[in-house]
Amino acid sequence: MILLIDNYDSFSYNLYQLVGSIDPDIRVERNDTLNIDDIRQLKPSHIILSPGPGRPADAGICEDVSMSAPTTVCEINNGNYRSYVIQPEDFGLKRCTKDELVGGTAEENAVITKGILSGQIQGAKRDAVCMNAGAAMKKLEEFVEFPNKR
């Protein structure tokens, strides 16, 4: 069974549909309904973490990859466990302060998001989006064969 941790993000169900088309044995749980012991009892073959909206404090048992500090990554794959630390510099990105990442109101965050996607906003906020998207794609890569993969 594949466990998809939903961080209260509508993208979770895009992931659910995509992964479910490859392996229908997938279960979705919200990030605040399980703890680590619950996950161990489920014995999933894989765990997928949705990107999640909002602030890190709302992430339940999930956190984003940090741009301002090292991030410990724990992977469980078919019962095999490994843990390692990643940091922005490992990917050619510049470490930033937490203040450089702070957003604002929903309207302000929408402007920031559009600016990042259009290429008009560079720097810490864009780097954080890229680093976390890359982390999500790395995990998704285990389930999907991407065309033109190099």
pLDDT, tens digit (0-9, with 9 covering 90-100), for 118-149: 999 999 999 988 887 777 666 555 544 545 55
pLDDT-derived band at 8 (thresholds 50, 70, 90) equals: confident
Residue 80 has pLDDT above 90, yes or no: no
pLDDT above 70 coverage of the chain, percent: 75
CA atoms of 95 and 16, how far apart (whole Å)? 32
Q: What angle do CA 136, 141, 144 make, to 5 degrees?
A: 125
Residue 29 has pLDDT above 60, yes or no: yes
Closest CA to 84 of 93, 71, 98, 96: 71
Closest CA to 52 of 88, 10, 19, 16: 10
Residue 63 has pLDDT above 90, yes or no: no
Q: What is the pLDDT of residue 143?
A: 46
Q: What is the pLDDT of residue 54?
A: 57
Average of per-residue pLDDT values in the chain: 79
Looking at residue 96, the DSSP 8-state letter turns out to be -
**Of residues 107 and 18, more confidently modeled:** 107
What is this structure's pTM? Answer: 0.54
CA atoms of 63 and 51, how far apart (whole Å)? 9
